[in-house]
A and B are shown apart, each in its own frame.
Chain A
């Protein structure tokens, strides 16, 4: 399965963009954690190790022909659903939510695995779907079911951010596949009462608070709204050229919550200003467009669907995280891929990059 010639086809554009963002991220983590007390291994060093591990994983995956994913897709789906069920029964709690599963050797977050698995599952379903034109409401029943099970299980944990992402990834792939207008209208009509039911019965009080805070950040200056205000002050006070590396007062005074993870971009915006943000956004935009380009160049439907899904995953992470930091979205705890501190996010994103590489490297094979 491993073909030496493949390695000569490595997509350097893809690899280069990812590494550039990662290096900016590590530099930013250094600054964001400077006011933290010294720990045994500094966060930015740990993040560097995660980067190395992630690149290893991406490289390993890229050597494997992505077509085998199609054969295993429903198995993978079944296994991860079982893991999600297991989390609800025997999971490890942290900060009021149960997301982790102890597998003896290591801890896994099945909801994170689901992001990748939903891409593979949807790619397989649409690839095998033999019908011309846009999907009808009836065509959508099966994929909706496949999506609803994990989405509800993840919401139950509760991990609203990941649930939303899984839904957005599936939705993006569906739109790419194409829907009939009648289907779109039907879903909009159905969604409204469902959303109302969800608000009343499924959202936890802290999740509702976040949504209300988003609608009106002044609602609680000290509660969850406080985070958004402090983050906006950080970003806004950065100005055009920023306050300089490790000189952001908001971050160094630790006004920002989780400033090395979910609010890492806030630290960056304060210290590097609009110029810095522009550079980072252009890097991300290039990455997403390049992902779409890989989908476009791919000559088989399954590969194109996979590439679409992975790109959607990265895109929605970026947009939701950035939107949250600059006060356009509620705080939902979604990390910035390659940029926020954290091994889980790094590994998931790198698995996606590995799949994109695998597709890109094989574009000449047909």
Chain B
């Protein structure tokens, strides 16, 4: 019974499949009839429709957003760039056209032929660019001779225009054609080959905001390619603009102050972490990178031993030298190893375990307390303090300043620097930490490395007595009409937890560095604002003496960190001059000029054109007193 039923069912379903097969065949037949109708019966109509279908799609590139300084001064904007293109399909007499083009516009015949070669293998309906970046005069000539130049089109594309003085090239970055790697990445699905994107700096980090959306126009053209009408149009959306925290005036003075020296400077708002200036020198011309970079220029950038392409403020890791004594001093105060009256007798060197550690002043500083140790940058004081603390306690204090890791400024490739610990050495080299290694660390040599951003953040944290802000570059995003879209607030990423009175003891020392006789930072002094700071001279190689005769790459780095005003700090500055020699002199002077520019900007009423000279004179005056420039023998300084 059951088997019978099964057989019946199977037979039924097999019959059904036969019926279904016929239905399927019928439906396919209907499709075929429809194709017959379109392709055989009405093909002439459709063919003429397709031949008259002279629609063109012209992409319209979106204007990239601008980049502005904190006051709205435009640092990077766009200008239109015209290029000459031809639609190969419409070029009947290539040689004749090229003759006319070279005669009318003075274009190189060989260059035209070279570009024309790119046509092969591509659709004949797509314009090929024969000359890019042509002048407005050339555009006019083309327009006038339109009829004699069939197939020729003018394409307009916005290109980047940079503020004339090459402000902050490393910070702003440059744009270039999107790479194949980027095209395959997530988040770049909307991009096409040939599109321009930010390659580094702010241009890259804020690409999503700056880019905008490309539009396009569907045009109907006649047989000669002349536009009859616009059929549909999608408008490009201009990218949003980025308003930086940078103060262009301070930035400009900072860049100028370096002259042709290599190095970096970062200025921060002490009470928010806003980056007011971000300098890396020598600079480069970002405009060169958006086109085809001439080989010789590229080579000259590569050959320059001052490394113009490197963003030293972000990726330069330097031994902080004596600027690190601030950390060692705070570690000593925090751990009860010293107080303001603890003194050490500096005889010009210190001996530990059979090694002799020299003070920079071979005559010695004599009896030295905390304030004097900072003012005159006595090494022996910190050797002894470091010995008592041990490397891990120094590191612990440094880590409270968030050193040893990237601060997250928002640009790619920020370097972490290095704060050594015993554990780190064990991991890295498989060896235990030797006591003697702590001594160089306590004066910012040895394994210690910091970036200019970290130096600036450190001195800023000292100035505000314990708050670590994340340094940030972008104040707000605005749309093309200037309407604010996003506002960025200061972000506290750490608090040192060190009490204010301890900070004050160190700050008194830093004030003395700049303002008291015997201080190493007199070059940073201002006549109207109280400045505090600390110099640093970090050894690149161990040499007995670092003099002018030393080859460039072996000379010491000069560093200076400063903040002002002393009583109510607003701005913190860190300056590194690569192979610059003595920190207090070279870097201190640059720090002074940066501070000068900042405080000049705050008093617009007094900003007369004479002002800069006055400031220079003031600097020279200070510099003219040799007793301040070169820290003196012990006799001078004991009376502290």
Contact = CB atoms under 8 A, between A and B. Distances in A.
Interface of A: 34-35, 37-40, 132, 176, 178, 222, 232-240, 249-250, 252-255, 269, 273-274, 277-278, 281, 284-285, 288-289, 292, 295-296, 299, 301, 304, 308, 315, 319, 322-323, 326, 328
Nearest to A230: B53
Interface in B304-340: none
Contacts of A322: 31
B24 A176 contact: no
A299 B14 CA distance: 11
B24 A285 contact: yes
B104 interface: no
Closest 5 CB pairs of A and B: A236-B46, A237-B50, A35-B123, A239-B43, A236-B38
A330 B193 CA distance: 33
A237 B47 contact: yes
A239 B31 contact: no
B551 interface: no
Given A222-B231, A274-B39, A278-B32, A40 B184 contact: yes
A288 B125 CA distance: 39
B211 to A, nearest CB: 17
19 contacts: A35-B122, A176-B17, A222-B232, A237-B49, A238-B43, A239-B40, A239-B43, A239-B47, A252-B124, A252-B125, A273-B39, A274-B35, A274-B39, A277-B32, A292-B17, A292-B24, A299-B10, A308-B17, A326-B38
Contacts of A323: 31
B424 interface: no
A21 to B, nearest CB: 14
Given A222-B231, A222-B232, A240 B20 contact: no
A281 B36 CA distance: 13
B16 A233 contact: no
A46 to B, nearest CB: 11
A289 B10 CA distance: 19
Contact of A289 (B24, B49, B55): B24
Contacts of A35: 122-123, 125-126
Interface in B24-43: 24-25, 27-28, 31-32, 34-36, 38-40, 42-43
Contacts of A236: 38-39, 42-43, 45-47, 49-50
B43 A240 contact: yes
Nearest to B57: A254
Contacts of A38: 193
Contacts of A34: 122-123
B587 to A, nearest CB: 46
B34 A285 contact: no
B111 interface: no
Interface residues of B, number: 46
Given A255-B55, A274-B39, A278-B32, A176 B13 contact: yes
B617 to A, nearest CB: 60
B21 interface: yes
Most chain B CB within 10 A, of A132, A236, A255, A274, is at A236
Given A233-B50, A296-B17, A322-B31, 18 more contacts: A35-B123, A37-B192, A37-B193, A40-B183, A176-B17, A236-B38, A236-B45, A236-B47, A239-B43, A240-B39, A277-B39, A281-B35, A284-B28, A285-B24, A299-B10, A301-B9, A308-B17, A326-B31
A281 B39 contact: no
Contact of A235 (B9, B10, B39, B192): B39
A124 B248 CA distance: 73
Interface in B182-217: 183-184, 192-194
Given A178-B16, A285-B25, A235 B31 contact: no
B222 to A, nearest CB: 15
Nearest to B35: A277
A281 B5 CA distance: 38
Contacts of B621: none
B12 interface: yes
A319 B13 CA distance: 24
A232 B49 CA distance: 10
Given A37-B193, A319-B31, A249 B231 contact: no
B640 interface: no
B47 A178 contact: no
B180 interface: yes
B51 interface: yes
A288 B38 CA distance: 24
Interface in B481-530: none
A32 to B, nearest CB: 11
Nearest to B124: A252
A292 B28 CA distance: 15
A206 B381 CA distance: 78
A278 B5 CA distance: 42
A253 B125 contact: yes
B123 A233 contact: no
Contacts of A235: 35, 38-39, 46
A266 to B, nearest CB: 11
Contacts of A299: 10
Nearest to A94: B189
A253 B53 contact: yes
Given A35-B126, A253-B53, A304-B13, A319 B27 contact: yes
Nearest to B48: A237
Nearest to B126: A35
Contacts of A176: 13, 16-17, 20
Given A239-B47, A289-B24, A233 B39 contact: no
Most chain A CB within 10 A, of B32, B46, B231, is at B46
